[in-house]
Amino acid sequence: MSFHDQQYNEKRDFIRMKVEARAILVLHDSGDRIEADCQDLSSQGVQLVMDQPLAEQSHLSVSIPSPTPGLLGLEAEGQVMRCQAIDNDQFIVGVHFNALK
């Protein structure tokens, strides 16, 4: 589907790619290390599924290791833009990248 064929509410400035990968998050304020599943990824951010909520505006580091030996994974600094409960023990978290390392 081309960009112009998408419904208006789905048009974005950056294309999102579906990704099935494990991400490692480190919260800047506490140093807590949390694992999450990537749902999709763009050049501006990532959407994660995780088993605990994160406070909006929290700053964190995101690491998505590469499954390919010799190929670097993604390392970024970001900020939680939204956190929405899916059910009692799963949350969708949207992170905006502030900087790629």
pLDDT of residue 13: 58
- 3-100: which CATH architecture? Beta Barrel (2.40)
Tell me the domain boundaries of the chain. 3-100
Nearest to 85 by CA among 53, 57, 56, 61: 53
Return the structure tokens found at 47.
């959407």
pLDDT of residue 84: 96
Residue 10 has pLDDT above 70, yes or no: no
pLDDT of residue 1: 43
pTM for the full predicted model:
0.82
Nearest to 34 by CA among 61, 67, 72, 73: 61
pLDDT tens-digit map of 56-99: 999 999 999 988 899 999 999 999 999 999 988 999 999 999 99
Exposure of 67 by Cβ count < 10 A (0-12 exposed, 13-18 middle, 19+ buried)? exposed
